[in-house]
Structure 1
Amino acid sequence: MERGSSKHSARVDQEMKQEVLGTVQGVAGGRAEEWKMAEPSGEDQPEVTRTVEAEAANDLSRFGRYIGRSALPGDRDALRRSAEALEAPDDILADLRALPDDVVFHTVTEIWAALGRGSAERRP
């Protein structure tokens, strides 16, 4: 005796099996239908993926590791003390010594921009 679905026809069973095939077998892109995929940006819209170049992002990330949260907002001396407590390398400490003395920085990106290495504007 062959057991089959008593609720659907063989054709509907096959269609339902095909719908979940990507999820069951792990085929790439199996979960999204073509009509669910994101459309590219229009001519009058900004690019969807705006990323910082990999090397610049790594430099900023490395720099930010040595700026403690408790130091922000802070001036040059507070940032330097925080970096020394976190055992920052000499090049990071030299960068912090090069900052202007009378400016209070609120974010790492503001510090990075003050060093002339990037923009302080926030990226989506």
Structure 2
Amino acid sequence: MERGSSKHSPRVDEQMSQEVRGAVQGITEGRAEEWKMAEPAGEDQPAPTGISNGSENPLTRFGRYIGLSALPGDRDALRRSAEVLTAPDDVLADLDRLPDGVVYQTVTEIWAALGRDPA
């Protein structure tokens, strides 16, 4: 006995299985169609919260240029990571001030080693 839908023809069954294949196999946006996608904010809408307005925390700004793959790491590993992440000159200069041979576990440890206030 062949298993299949008793409500649809084999052609319709195949078409329906193709439509849900992305969701079943875990492919992102497999069923998303353009008309189902969210529209961007309009001109009268406030800016999204993820955009920096220049008033961010200095520790957050510094930490943005320390890649997670560099931690735990010493001064040289942190410097290489910051260069890959196109860190500004002031961040690179701060990393150059760190003592050689010390391994840092977190960005907060690096910040404290630079003598900066964590708050």
Offset of residue 113 of structure 1: 0.1
Quick one: distance in 2 between partners of 1:66 and 1:83? 5
Partner of 2:115: 116
Between Structure 1 and Structure 2, whose CA radius of gyration is higher? 1
Match of 1:94, SS state, is helix
Offset of residue 65 of structure 1: 0.1
TM value normalised by structure 1: 0.50
User: What is the aligned length?
Assistant: 65
Quick one: distance in 1 between partners of 2:69 and 2:117? 23
Structure 1: which amino acid aligns with 2:58? Answer: D
Partner of 2:48: none
Offset of residue 92 of structure 1: 0.1
Offset of residue 102 of structure 1: 1.2
Partner of 1:67: 66
Unaligned runs of at least 5 residues, structure 2 = 1-54
Match of 1:66, SS state, is coil
Unaligned runs of at least 5 residues, structure 1 = 1-54
The sequence identity of aligned pairs, in percent, is 75
TM value normalised by structure 2: 0.52
Offset of residue 66 of structure 1: 0.1
Aligned pairs (5 A) from 1:44-123: 58-118=57-117
Offset of residue 118 of structure 1: 2.5
